Chains A and B, each alone.
Chain A
Amino acid sequence: MSIFNFLKQRKDTTADIAKKRLQIIVSHQRGGDEEQKDFIPKLQQELINVISKYVKVDQDQVKVELERTGDCSILELNITLPDTLA
Chain B
Amino acid sequence: MSKKKQTCEVIVVTSGKGGVGKTTSSAAISTGLAERGYRTAVIDFDVGLRNLDLVMGCERRVVYDFVNVIQGEATLNQAMIKDKRFDNLFILPASQTRDKDALDKDSVGRVINELKESFDYIICDSPAGIEAGAVMAMYFADQAIIVTNPEVSSVRDSDRILGILASRSHRAEEGKERIKEHLLITRFSPERAAKGDMLSVQDVQEILSVPLLGVIPESKSVLRASNEGIPVINDKDSDAGQAYSDAIKRFLGEETPMRFIEKAGIFQRLFGASTE
Contact = CB atoms under 8 A, between A and B. Distances in A.
A25 B156 contact: yes
B152 A18 contact: yes
B176 interface: no
Interface stretch (B2-10, B83-91, B198-206, B260-268): B198-206
Interface residues of B, number: 19
Report whether over half of chain B's contact residues are helix, strand or loop; otherwise say mixed: helix
Nearest to B166: A33
Contacts of A19: 199, 203, 206-207
Given A19-B207, A22-B207, A29 B156 contact: yes
Contacts of B65: none
Contact of B152 (A13, A22, A33): A22
B43 to A, nearest CB: 28
B152 A16 contact: no
Interface stretch (B18-26, B132-140, B189-197): B189-197
Interface string B136-180: 000000000000000110011001100100010000000000000
Contact of A26 (B151, B159, B167): B159
A36 to B, nearest CB: 11
A61 interface: no
Nearest to A26: B159
Contacts of B167: 33
Contacts of A22: 152, 155-156, 199, 207
Contacts of B156: 22, 25-26, 29
A21 B163 contact: no
Given A22-B199, A29-B156, 18 more contacts: A13-B195, A13-B196, A14-B196, A14-B197, A15-B193, A15-B197, A15-B198, A15-B199, A16-B196, A18-B152, A19-B207, A22-B156, A23-B207, A25-B159, A26-B156, A26-B207, A29-B159, A33-B163
